[in-house]
Amino acid sequence: MGWTREALEDYVMWQIERNQLVAAVDDQGNVRAIVIGWPTEEMQVESFQWQETTEHGRFWYWDQIAGDNPTALMAAFAEMFRRRPESASLPSYGVRHRKVRFFGTALDVYKTGEKIYGN
């Protein structure tokens, strides 16, 4: 069962208002990549809740990472790092298939991508 359009719009606005969502768009205004994340105190399986996240955490949780090409995804990460510097330096993780996946610092992941795909 998916989200209703209204619920998805509410979720997106919630993340935008808290500076937790970055989208990379092309010259025509089409979204090509999106990253959503926030600080957490513990590295655990997170599920989105309609409550404020901790302002300063020990980890960075990536709720959504999606892109249709590596360049757009790298641009989205770079912008998140600019807006939220802690997203680059905190140990980070995400959840896939209900399992926690540790990424190390996102900046290390970004640097690896930069070597592979350029900037």
| CATH number reported for the structural domain that contains residue 86 in this entry | 3.40.630
Rg (CA), the chain: 14
pLDDT digits (tens, 9 = 90+) for 25-43: 999 999 999 999 999 888 8
Give every residue of the chain whose pLDDT is below 50, as ranges: none
Q: Domain count of the chain? A: 1
Euclidean distance between CA atoms 89 and 91, whole angstroms: 7
* Confidence at residue 5, expressed as pLDDT on a 0 to 100 scale: 92
The answer to whether the beta carbons of residues 80 and 110 sit under 8 Å apart is: no
pTM of the model: 0.83
* Confidence at residue 44, expressed as pLDDT on a 0 to 100 scale: 72
Range of the domain at 105: 5-117
